[in-house]
Structure 1
Amino acid sequence: MQDFLTLAFLFSAITSATPLLFAAMGGLFSERSGVINIALEGLMLAGAFTAAVITFQTGDPYLGLMCGIGAGVITALIYAVAVIHFEADQVVAGMAINFLMLGLPALISGVIYDSTGSTPQIDQAHKIPILFGGLSYVSVLALLVVPVAWYVLYQTPFGLRLRAVGENPEAADAAGINVVRLRYVAVLISGVLAAIGGAFLSTGQSSLFTRGMSAGRGFIALAALILAKWRPIPVLFACLFFGFTEAITIQIQGASWAKIGDEPIPVQFIEMIPYVLTIIVLAGFIGLSRAPKALGKPYRKEL
């Protein structure tokens, strides 16, 4: 138990929560505008793959991060055009982006590196730098994003308009707010933030991109949003909760007491813990959450 009460464990939990927090805050902006963002998983993969490739090729993690953000924005724009302009079903379009980003990086990696499973290992000196205690500046940035998002959503005209569009786009339009433009901006913001989370996975937590390395974190980020009722500060605590569960699984895997009888607990069962908790949380709290009223509803301006 003492292993779970150390500063190193706390930093490990924050590091594990970092990609979740970026993805969840991105989803917060998108869903507050009325656009369901099931595509968070795909946006993270786009950022992770691009950042890993550029960092490996150039040795510059900052350039890799910026290119990862660019890939996230492009992917988010494709999704936004599909669901906002062409009014495609948001859940179906989001899943299509996720499937695309499961296969496309493997295809490109096979062409460039002759390996569809992963990109080459990034030199440790070229990874995102560590500041202190195992925390990188990206983890610190993730914690700072939360109060910034709160301020933007609740203390600025942009945030007021964004929330209005997510609740009642017809009334917002009548008040002179450009609903379509705001939704585009919100989805692109989600692309930026989710891609940062993905880039951190491949160049911060890890040192390469592996196929499907987001491992459902985009969906866990959505679960955090629901649990937090689409509010920034509770989103932080929800993501930290899931980060702690992931850190616990890492600790358990290396623990001598993690046995059933004389046999060690299979790793697969230990790795299931965050996903089982996600299901339990959703089953217990989804009925208590009130989503933005216009969430998932396309808006067509009346002529």
Structure 2
Amino acid sequence: MSVFDFLHTLLTVSFFAAILRAATPMVFAALGGLISELAGVINVALEGMMLIAAFAGVVGSAWAAVLWPDAGPLFFALFGAALGLFAAVFLALVLAVFYLEFDANLIIAGIGINILAAGLTVFLLFTISGDKGSSAGLTSYALPSIAPGFLGDLPVIGALLAGANGDGHHILIYAALLSIVLVWLFLHKTRLGLHLRAVGENPEACRTAGLPVKRIQYYAILLSGLLAGLGGIYLSMGYLTLFQSNMTAGRGFLALAAIFLGARSVLGTAGAAAFFGLASVFAAQLGLLGVPTPVVFAVAPVLTIIALLLFSWVTGRREKTAISRALQALRKSKGQEHA
């Protein structure tokens, strides 16, 4: 492929559709992590929650086909998705109990859950299918793709929602786009969302005001697990139609980075997650130019580090500017007093 052809592929609907597919699991996980972060709880276990949901979704759909063979593929997939969400929320509950009830170190507890999920999924996969690498031996089912309907008639956006073939995207891609709006409305337009953000800012003041701080943090962690579980389910029941060991491949940690790169805002976090999706798709496209595989795999992490450094630099400049203006205002006011 020539460089001209490569640049042409970057401007096609297929390329932007690929970005949507790559960004979807990180959008879910990042929004979930944002909710818990705004409540004062950093969810380091997003990776493990995504992984356990991806595994449980595939195994659950396979079990449903055995237990209720006449129910149909859609039921099998929905049952698996429900089981995957339950598994992710259960891990979130474990994290919440250890942190809120037993006062465990949040970072260590999160890392422990990630290690548990990585080892447990491989062990159970081998026990069930006899394969440590993937669930290819199991007959698993995927959630459906849907057409965009009347939205497909919109200019530009309609072409993007219609996908490369015009038949739409996986249902969880639309759900990820919708979740951006819903999470914003939840955080800014509901009483629980306002309380949640207040708890994250000053939990002691909220306790004094009579707010149930611990209960609100429970809600935040469980919602975080639910959204991370959706990201994991998409990986094994949409992006792929099987489970692979460690298939999250660091997406949970990228989701954490997206929260801070997006300045802890809903739109910023979703945009940062989309940027990481763009980086991974761009790296994959580089392989078409004959770029060595190690370089291709290094592109996404390098772009991530550069983005975080730029964000840190810009934030630092803004803080220095604000401090400088405050000092100038203070000197000016003192000068007027002496005059």
The TM-score, its normalising length taken from structure 2, stands at 0.79
Quick check: 1:244 aligned with 2:278? yes
d(CA) in 1 for partners of 2:229 and 2:201? 26
Aligned length: 281
Q: Where do 1:52-201 residues align within 5 Å?
A: 52-57=58-63, 58=65, 59=73, 60-120=76-136, 126-132=141-147, 133=163, 135-201=169-235
3-state DSSP of counterpart to 2:243: coil
**Structure 2 equivalent of residue 274 of structure 1:** 300
d(CA) in 1 for partners of 2:11 and 2:25? 23
* Alpha-carbon shift at residue 193 of structure 1 (Å): 0.4
Structure 1 unpaired stretches of 5+:
260-264, 291-303
* Alpha-carbon shift at residue 161 of structure 1 (Å): 0.4
Write out the 4+ residue segments of structure 1 that deviate beyond 4 Å after TM superposition. Answer: 121-124
Name the stretch that deviates more: 205-214 or 112-121. Answer: 112-121
Aligned partner letter, 1:128: L
**Structure 1 equivalent of residue 268 of structure 2:** 234
Q: Cα RMSD over matched residues?
A: 1.7
**Structure 2 equivalent of residue 26 of structure 1:** 32
The TM-score, its normalising length taken from structure 1, stands at 0.89
Cα distance, 1:87–1:207 mapped onto 2, change above 3 Å = same
Structure 2 unpaired stretches of 5+:
1-6, 66-72, 148-162, 319-339
d(CA) in 2 for partners of 1:210 and 1:76? 22
d(CA) in 1 for partners of 2:184 and 2:18? 25
d(CA) in 1 for partners of 2:258 and 2:297? 19
* Alpha-carbon shift at residue 223 of structure 1 (Å): 0.8
d(CA) in 2 for partners of 1:121 and 1:155? 47
Q: Which has the larger radius of gyration?
A: 2
3-state DSSP of counterpart to 2:242: coil
**Structure 1 equivalent of residue 10 of structure 2:** 4
d(CA) in 1 for partners of 2:138 and 2:258? 31
d(CA) in 1 for partners of 2:190 and 2:240? 37
**Structure 1 equivalent of residue 329 of structure 2:** none
d(CA) in 1 for partners of 2:209 and 2:182? 26
3-state DSSP of counterpart to 2:198: helix
1:56–1:121 Cα contact (<8 Å) kept? no
* Alpha-carbon shift at residue 123 of structure 1 (Å): 5.8
Aligned partner letter, 1:194: A
Cα distance, 1:273–1:121 mapped onto 2, change above 3 Å = farther
d(CA) in 2 for partners of 1:272 and 1:210? 21
d(CA) in 1 for partners of 2:143 and 2:300? 25
Cα distance, 1:56–1:273 mapped onto 2, change above 3 Å = farther
The percent identity for this pair of structures is 40
d(CA) in 2 for partners of 1:237 and 1:42? 23
3-state DSSP of counterpart to 1:208: coil
Superimposed CA distance per residue, residues 53-107 of structure 1 (whole angstroms, 9 cap, x where no aligned partner): 1123325222111111000010100111111111111111111011111100011
